[in-house]
Amino acid sequence: MKRFIFLLYCLPFFGCTEDNSLNDIDNFIVEGYLTNLEGIKQLRVKEVFDLNATSDPMQDITDAQIELVKAGEVFTLYYDENLAGYTNPNVYVDSGDIFGISVERNGRTASATTQVPMPTKDLGITPETIEIPEIKLEIGIQETLQQLMQNARFTVNWSNPDQLPHILIFELIQGEGPIFPENFPLPENIESLLRGFSLVSNPIITDTYTVPALSFPEYGEYRVYVYRVNQEYVDLFDTQKQDSRELIVAPSNVVNGLGIFTAMSGEVVTFRLSKPLP
């Protein structure tokens, strides 16, 4: 993933509302994520819309004036079409930093602050490599797949004695071909697994996370980030527990606007899905 796609499916909760005060034509949604590993992971500004809108909802705003402030130093951000968001390569993010943001457009200014949490500690993954045999239609393939489902699993571990919230982000670094051939008739349980697996986990307070190797689409090298997240991020996910048929506005730490501005801190490890050597 070349850019952050953290909460795209959550954004309608920010924008879908019949509250006229929030459907103000000048209002907007801020979606900003800072990390100690990647600086500005994603920072986007979008239009607010309602469920009765006939035009394309949630269009990106590319002409906002955005500044980040850290310890009195001001960083002006610019819009990068390749990233589909605002950035500044001179922004460095360290644990304990306090960042403020101001977003101005059409005379309206929204603001927010966040503090970078302490990073994940003692991150590891076992095993580091799992071999998946070539998948093809042949006698016994169903039994092979069931055995892989039960036994071929990665377990990610980290230290979390205080049960603080963390998320995991899985990324493909270098693909080496799909695991399942095109139009392969997947068993129902594996098809359900592939449909339900997300490259970004929900916030969890445990110190371990297990994922079947068949969850991933390709052979190759992957990385997994494990980030300690702030409460504003957890609150946003908790919103999803509500009935999606209700018109709601998600919790927001953005003043005079909507959305989220948050920081996270963590570590990263790599792992591989390989074919057996001939």
**Mind listing the pLDDT tens digit for each residue in 18-43?**
444 455 556 889 999 999 999 999 99
* Domain extents in the chain: 11-118+228-265, 121-227+268-274
Query: In the predicted model, what is the mean pLDDT of residues 51-61?
Result: 64
Share of the chain above pLDDT 70, in %: 81
In this prediction, residues 33-58 reach a mean pLDDT of 79
Mean pLDDT of 170-197: 81
Quote the tokens at residue 195.
């449909």
> CA-based Rg of the chain, rounded to a whole angstrom?
21
- The mean pLDDT of 113-128, rounded to a whole number, is 97
Question: In this predicted structure, what is the pLDDT of residue 184?
Answer: 78
The predicted-structure confidence for 184-233, as pLDDT tens digits, reads as follows 777 777 777 666 667 889 999 999 999 999 889 899 999 999 999 999 99
- Read off the pLDDT of each residue in 157-170 and give the average, rounded to a whole number: 96
The pLDDT tens digits of the residues spanning 70-82 come to: 999 999 999 999 9
- Among 10, 12, 9, 14, CA closest to 251: 14
For residue 70, the number of C-alpha atoms closer than 13 Å in the C-beta half-sphere is 19
Q: Please tell me the predicted confidence (pLDDT) of residue 196.
A: 64
Residues with Cβ within 8 Å of 70's Cβ and at least 6 positions away in sequence, in order, are 91, 97, 98, 99, 100
Q: How large is the average pLDDT for residues 123-151?
A: 87
Distance separating alpha carbons of residues 214 and 130, to the nearest angstrom: 10
More confident residue, 56 or 28: 28
Question: Picking from 10-24, 128-142, 149-163, which range would have the lowest pLDDT averaged per residue?
Answer: 10-24
pLDDT at 88 over 90: yes
Which class does domain 121-227+268-274 fall in?
Answer: mainly beta
pLDDT at 246 over 80: no
